[in-house]
Amino acid sequence: MPVKTVFETKIQHVSILDELGNFDEALGGGLIPDEDVVAMYKHILVCRRFDEIAFKLQRSGRMGTYPENRGQEVPSLAAAYVLQKKDWMVTCYRENAGLFWRGLPMEKILLHWMGDERGNHIDECNVTPLAIAIGSQMLHATGLGWASKYQKNGAIACTFFGDGATSEGDFHEAANFAANLNLPVVFVCQNNGWAISTPTKVECSAPTVAQRGLAYGMECVQVDGNDLFAMVRVVKDAVENARKNNRPTFIEALTYRLGDHTTADDARRYRDADELAMWEKRDPVIRLRNYLEKRDLWSQEQEDGQVALAETTVAAVVKIAEEIDAPTTNDIFDSMYEGITPELQKQRQTLRTSSLGQDPSQVPAKSQEGAVQ
d(CA 277, CA 282): 9
Q: Are 145 and 178 in contact (CB under 8 A)?
A: yes
CA nearest neighbour of 122 among 137, 111, 113: 111
Asked if 261 is an active-site residue, the reply is: yes
Q: What are phi and psi of 162, to 5 degrees?
A: -90, 175
The DSSP bridge pattern shows strands 194-195 and 198-199 to be: antiparallel
d(CA 237, CA 17): 18
Asked if 112 is an active-site residue, the reply is: no
Amino acid, res. 49: R
Q: Are 275 and 219 in contact (CB under 8 A)?
A: no
Amino acid, res. 225: G
The H-assigned helical ranges of 228-361 are: 228-245, 273-280, 284-294, 300-322, 331-336, 342-350
Q: Are 40 and 81 in contact (CB under 8 A)?
A: yes
Q: Are 167 and 204 in contact (CB under 8 A)?
A: yes
Bridge partner residues of 90 (DSSP): 159
Quick check: helix, strand or coil at residue 253?
strand
Annotated catalytic residue within 261, 271, 287, 289 = 261
CA nearest neighbour of 93 among 39, 51, 46, 156: 51
The DSSP bridge pattern shows strands 185-191 and 194-195 to be: unpaired
Q: What are phi and psi of 60, to 5 degrees?
A: -95, 10
Does an H or E element contain 11, and which?
none
Annotated catalytic residue within 48, 140, 257, 271 = 257
Q: Are 285 and 17 in contact (CB under 8 A)?
A: no
Asked if 270 is an active-site residue, the reply is: yes
d(CA 59, CA 53): 10
Sequence-separated (6 or more) residues with CB below 8 Å from residue 318: 53, 57, 107, 110
Annotated catalytic residue within 13, 268, 270, 295 = 270
Sequence-separated (6 or more) residues with CB below 8 Å from residue 297: 34, 37, 38
Residues that are catalytic: 257, 261, 270
